[in-house]
Amino acid sequence: MAQLPHPPKFYQALQQAEQRYATGLYVAPGKKLLQEALRSLPEEAFHAILYVEGAVERSWPPTLEAKAFPVPAWQLTRVAGLESPEGVVVVLKLPTPVAGTAPFPPAVLAEGLQDPGNVGTLLRTMEWFGFSQLWLSEGSVDPYHPRVVRASMGSVFRVRAQKVIHWESLLHAYEGRCVVADLDGEPADTLDWHRYDALYVGSEAQGPRRAPRHWPRVRVPSAPTSRADSLNVTIAAAILLYLAARAKADTRRT
């Protein structure tokens, strides 16, 4: 059995954001993420492929064979941080942070999103509607947390995701046209969406507290009979991103 580049505890520690950024590595657990990584990333982005013999098809190219290491199932589970990593965990290099401090469109700016599943689903939704950058405020979950990576179903490999320490500085530097999702905003279907190139969302509990006041605010219209007082942030974002994508598509056709 080939020896791992580092001891198993080194890879287990990648569950922690501090260790991910200290080493420049993160983990992507499961067969789906293996295939998405092979499809989306250059070979130099791969640090290691850890797998359980007989549990996964060795579908990686021969040039990655030197980076593939069989490990016991119990060890793989600890590295993945999940009960069912499906026999494989890919260890990948973190992408180089975007130069400068300001996002470039089309982007989503997300404040205080702490649920890994929500952020992973948001990444999938952004890719579907053609938004290429996700910027997360401090206090949000790390976009390379294993559960975010898994929930993204591979979109994290293709959508730029970055956490920001100085959120107000980023907002001040942003020169695009951003619209804020807000329960107290105007109905979203009345906005001239083709004029905007970014969406700002806040957590369901706190909302967009730190969004600049001069940015326009919109809400997802609800049915007259609805008694719900809020909408999941990823569902709200999906509806608004759809409206933005539809407006841009209509503009291209005219």
Domains of the chain: 8-93 (3.30.1330.30), 107-253 (3.40.1280.10)
pLDDT at residue 35, as a whole number: 96
Q: Are 79 and 148 in contact (CB under 8 A)?
A: no
Phi-psi group of 139: left, alpha or beta (phi > 0 → left; psi -120 to 50 → alpha; rest → beta):
left
- Residue-by-residue DSSP string for 183-239: EEEEEGGGS-GGG--EEEEEBTTTBSTTS-TTS-EEE----TT-------HHHHHHH
Which residues in the chain show pLDDT less than 50?
none
Q: Do you find a cis peptide bond into 216, omega within 30 degrees of 0?
A: no
pLDDT tens column, 175-217 = 888 999 998 899 998 899 888 989 999 998 888 999 999 999 9
Own/partner pairs, 187-193, CB within 8 angstroms, 24+ separation: 187/218, 187/219, 187/221, 188/218, 188/219, 188/220, 188/221, 188/239, 188/240, 188/243, 189/221, 189/243, 190/218, 191/216, 191/218, 191/243, 192/247, 193/243, 193/244, 193/246, 193/247, 193/248
The pLDDT score that the predictor gives to residue 103 is: 62
Classify burial at 165, counting beta carbons within 10 Å of its beta carbon; exposed 0-12, middle 13-18, buried 19 or more: exposed
Residue 240 CA to residue 111 CA, distance in Å, equals 16
Predicted pLDDT at 133: 93
Q: Whole-angstrom Cα distance, residue 247 to residue 164?
A: 29
* Structure confidence at residue 119 (pLDDT): 97
Q: How many CB atoms lie within 10 A of CB 246?
A: 13
